[in-house]
Structure 1
Amino acid sequence: MKRLIVLAIIGLCAQLVDGSLGMAYGVTSTSLLLMFGIAPAAASASVHLAEVVTTAASGVSHIRFGNVDKGIVKKLILPGSIGAFLGALFLGSIPGHIIKPYVSVFLLGLGVFVIYRFLFNRKVVLEQNQKNINKRFFIPLGFIAGFFDATGGGGWGPIATPVLLSKKNIETRKVIGSVDTSEFAIAVCSSLGFFISLGWSEINFVWVFALMIGGIIAAPIAAWLVKIIPSHLLGVLVGGMIILTNVRTLLLTFSLPSNATVVIYSVLIGLWIIGIIFVALNLKKQKTQYEKA
């Protein structure tokens, strides 16, 4: 019973982060299940099955708070669903652990770029000034993000969110809301692929239910936070999460000593906090100047 409560809390926290920053539900939940000794394929299958419900709740919440660009969702769903289905279908034979570090290096660079952009670029992207991005851009993005999401137990948000945030013509909250909303289709297709390749016998439905409950509770709270948090502060929060998520992958790949890992995490988290404070102070300063004017 205690384990189920812990899983529900983890599901709540993971969805709170995922729904407000556009990533981390799969990574957090899968890591926990692997820690409990579940096989990688079964862990990924359980998480994706839980995400069918949590992403639906998250999508509905983001739509209600106006955080979704329907055009982006439509363009991401088809290639993402195909990638997720194929990734789930062939999980056992795909050397995802070999490719993943290279993807993490690329995403780590994007994370640094995202933080730099929102720390030092004061120009706020307005919805009415957005330009349409070529549809071809979304095909490889959706496919790759969906593929790695299925093979790694998490990857849709960590890949799709930073790439879209690197585009200056998309509003931050619309990126997060659209990625989270489109993830419902990816979760459904991943679950279908896992059902074909593994069968339902490999999935612990009690654990899935616990993850679902936590995620459902957190979904509307996360969507509300995306609505009220200023775009620059939101961008720095997302950028920091991108960096931490991909540094974790690289540290696991190179198997560094625990002391070195603690130092690296401490430095990164410290710099992240400084960046958040810097943006918050600037936003407060701008608000004061606006009120005086």
Structure 2
Amino acid sequence: MTLLPKDSSLKLIQDDNSEGNQLFPVFIKLNELHTVLIGAGNVGLEKLTAILNNSPLARVTVIAKTFVPEIHTLAGEFDDLTIIQKTFAETDLDNADLVIAATNDNELNTYIRQSAHDRKLLINVADKPELCDFYLGSIVQKGDLKVAISTNGKSPTVAKRLKEVLNEGLPSELDVTLQQMSELRNSLSGDFAFKVKKLNEVTSVLVGKKPETNKNLIWLIWSAIILAIGISAVALWYKEPTFKLYVQEIHPVFYYFLGASFVFALIDGAIGMSYGVTTTSFSLTMGIPPAAASMGVHLSEIMSNGIAGWMHYRMGNINWKLFKMLLIPGIIGAVSGAYILSSLEHYSQYTKPFVSLYTLILGLVILSKAFNLKRKRGTEKIKRIPLLGLGGGFIDAVGGGGWGSIVLSTLIAGGRNPRFSLGTVKLSRFFIALMSSLTFITMLNGNHWDAVAGLVIGSALASPIAAKISNQISTKAIMVSVGIIVILISIKSIFAFLVKVI
């Protein structure tokens, strides 16, 4: 039967040759029903886990002759879960509302199905679509939002893969949107038509199509800009003696840091972290003291993160609630760290190996995360966001980097959406870099402005490109490369210090 709207009415059309998925999706309140599960092996455990994950208050009775240990564990955690060790009898279904058969005995499964149908009960038989009255689909959940996926029993594996795609693609912040829409709906006055119209207007942004970006055009524009700069520089070099003299007086360190900063900013844009740790490691290798290195990093990050933060804001990648929780604690931690490190500038020969040790640890952390990208994120979001911001800001200022490695990775590992987390961390980083830079400038007498200028200009040039390429290239390959490079540079710096001491 197919329902089709016509002139504000419904017309029933009989289609005897219907094809495709004929299942009717429903969401059942299992906490108000009694579910009987027969079978307690690995398949039974999978069915039971699916039930309890979606309906923790469901009343379930498991009947089997043998049980895998995990089911006994679940029985100790869920009060409404009962396990009975016995052979199945049809009277076990007398008080059931829903039946699931998960045994490895085909004859027993058929007997259970007949017993359920004799009592007008719906039944699911594991791995036997032809015996099922209903299927347990793959579920994607974001708070109050729940999406069920069905392949009509054809391929649970495909349903599983679609679940992974939707889990990654649907932001966790959708639950916040649902709560806000619920409050808005309850606050609206007027008739039904007015409410529907208002809610449609508010939610239209969810389905509004973003303007398509012509990537070839973007690269063409950037290539034209770079070419124009190059032609201008060559023309000035041969036509203007004063320009040539000015360029010749620029210390080569400026160009080293310009190129390094450009590359590090592109890497940071791709994986959302590592600019601070790579730049600090490079600076220490070039003989820049820790405090001056950290100052250079944070001054360059003012412009680069300001540009990147603005780009993410324009792309709608900011979680404002998360931003507010990170900002003030992050600034306090960064200013405190910058003050302490600047106070120890005269002892840079002693602080340098400790900062190198810190970058070595961060390199190991980045390398470790590269091989755990597919690890399942926690189901519960991290709660102590202000404490995370405070610690991340302090360590970032002292070590010249770590805000992305610590804060961003912790947020994602705690279940936050990667895209929103990246945008929020980038924007908050702008303010944190600004305040820590002001602290460094106030405390230090700068003697390394060539390096700082190179960092600032290089990162600023890379920032618009970096924001566009985020999550577009192989994250694992970049993280492995960055981790190895940082580890090697840090070990070299520590080894050089030990040689001097010995």
Give the conservation status (yes or no) of the 8 Å contact 1:115–1:239.
no
Change (3 A) 1:243 1:211: closer
Shift of 1:41: 1.2
Q: Identify the match of residue 89 of structure 1 among 332, 339, 342.
A: 339
Structure 2: 5+ residue stretches without partners? 1-249, 346-350, 497-502
- Which structure exhibits the higher relative contact order, with contacts defined as CA atoms closer than 8 Å and separated by 6 or more residues? 1
Give the conservation status (yes or no) of the 8 Å contact 1:67–1:227.
no
Q: How does 1:144-293 map to 2 (within 5 A)?
A: 144-167=391-414, 169-198=415-444, 201-226=445-470, 228=472, 234=475, 236=476, 240=480, 243-244=483-484, 247=487, 251=491, 255=495
Higher strand share: 2
Farther-moved stretch of structure 1 (19-28 vs 150-159) = 19-28
Shift of 1:78: 1.1
> Which residue is equivalent to 2:326?
76
> Which residue is equivalent to 2:286?
36
Give the conservation status (yes or no) of the 8 Å contact 1:22–1:161.
yes
Q: Could you list the per-position Cα deviations for residues 122-178 of structure 1 after superposition, in whole angstroms to 9, with x for gaps in the alignment?
A: xxx9xxxx9994653x122111111111111111112112211212x3222222222
Give the conservation status (yes or no) of the 8 Å contact 1:52–1:187.
yes
Change (3 A) 1:207 1:172: same
User: Aligned partners of 2:412, 2:482: CA distance in 1, in Å?
Assistant: 11
Structure 1: 5+ residue stretches without partners? 257-293
Give the conservation status (yes or no) of the 8 Å contact 1:105–1:246.
no
Q: How does 1:92-111 map to 2 (within 5 A)?
A: 92-93=343-344, 108=364
* Structure with max Cα Rg: 2
Change (3 A) 1:55 1:251: same
Farther-moved stretch of structure 1 (76-85 vs 155-164) = 155-164
Q: Could you list the per-position Cα deviations for residues 226-279 of structure 1 after superposition, in whole angstroms to 9, with x for gaps in the alignment?
A: 2645xxx54x457647854775587469749xxxxxxxxxxxxxxxxxxxxxxx
Please say if 1:13 is aligned against 2:290: no
Q: Identify the match of residue 52 of structure 1 among 302, 305, 325.
A: 302
Q: Could you list the per-position Cα deviations for residues 197-219 of structure 1 after superposition, in whole angstroms to 9, with x for gaps in the alignment?
A: 22xx3253343222222111211
Higher helix share: 1
Change (3 A) 1:203 1:88: farther
Provide TM-score, normalisation by structure 2. Answer: 0.42
The alignment yields a C-alpha RMSD, in angstroms, of 3.4
Please say if 1:141 is aligned against 2:141: no
Change (3 A) 1:5 1:252: closer
Change (3 A) 1:246 1:165: farther
- Amino acid paired to 2:264: A
Provide TM-score, normalisation by structure 1. Answer: 0.67
- Amino acid paired to 2:411: L
Give the conservation status (yes or no) of the 8 Å contact 2:363–2:484.
no
> Which residue is equivalent to 2:254?
4
> Which residue is equivalent to 2:368?
112
User: Aligned partners of 1:38, 1:250: CA distance in 2, in Å?
Assistant: 14
